[in-house]
Amino acid sequence: MQEQSDNQIVQTTQSSVSEHENTSSSSRRRFLTKASVGIVVASMPARSVWASGGGVAQSIVASGHGSDFAEGVKIAVLSAGYWKTHCTTNHSKNFKTVFGGNAFNKTTALPSLSSSLTFGQILLASGKSGLKGPGNCNFHMVAMYLNALHDGDYGLKYPLIGTDQPFKSNSSFAAYLYAKAMQNPSALGTELKGIITTYHVPSIPYSE
């Protein structure tokens, strides 16, 4: 039997190592996407100001790369300003019914606003009214919920809800956002805005 040359052995070994690394990387990416809800909510590259800031919403800013999510396609979301004037049928949705609790009071940071408050009232509110919440958390929570709800429409790429997605239903995603808001609504609002401005649909101007 003819022995392999040293070069052939090295090449074979390198090929095996490379295949193992690719398989391991792929497996890790699938695990992070399916098992770590916090990472896939934002699906954005880490930013030191968010990822190392220790904020309550830290688990919703990604650790890794946006391209590791949604089959390598970077996410694209829309601002609350867009939802204020588009797809206004969503304006009738009740905040408490969707999120499972009252919207947050700007002054006290408590979930104490009226249980009858609608998406439309929050989206159309002036900054002085306080309906947007501390850090505009109510405002941006509505936007992120609608982004996930309308994935695939209006240039959106935010596939979080579905059988093979991190959240099985609209309500489970809404509950996750609300739980983060209960920890620190102002921090959540600030970080959600950062996600939206960084990954806004390129073809549509950002607005609030």
Give the long-range contacts of residues 15-19, CB within 8 A, separation 24 or more: none
Q: Any idea which of 26-35, 98-107, 124-133, 197-206 has the lowest mean pLDDT? A: 26-35
Could you tell me the two tokens for 69?
């999510």
Say what the pTM is: 0.71
Comparing 89 with 194, which gets the higher pLDDT?
89
Residue 39 has a pLDDT of 36
d(CA 60, CA 37): 8
For 94, phi then psi, to 5°, come to: -90, 130
Domains of the chain, residue spans = 1-35, 38-198
Contacts 24+ apart (CB under 8 A), 28-36: 29/68, 32/64, 32/68, 33/68, 33/69, 33/166, 34/164, 34/166
Rounded mean pLDDT of 135-158?
A: 94
For the chain, give the number of residues. Answer: 208
- Range scoring the smallest mean pLDDT among 26-30, 118-122, 142-146, 174-178: 26-30
- Give the mean pLDDT of the chain: 75
Structure token pair of residue 165: 């997605």
Task: Evaluate if residue 38 carries a pLDDT over 80.
Answer: no
The 10s digit of each residue's pLDDT in 112-145 is 999 999 999 999 999 889 999 999 999 999 999 9
Ramachandran angles phi, psi of 200, nearest 5° = -70, 145
What distance in Å separates the CA atoms of residue 30 and residue 4, rounded to the nearest whole number?
Answer: 37
Residues 42-99: pLDDT tens digits? 433 333 233 333 444 444 433 223 334 444 557 889 999 999 999 999 999 999 999 9
Query: Is the pLDDT confidence value at 14 over 70?
Result: no
129-132 long-range Cβ contacts below 8 angstroms, 24+ apart:
130/105, 130/106, 131/103, 131/106, 132/106
Integer Cα distance of 151 and 159 in angstroms: 6
- What is the arithmetic mean of pLDDT over 140-168? 90
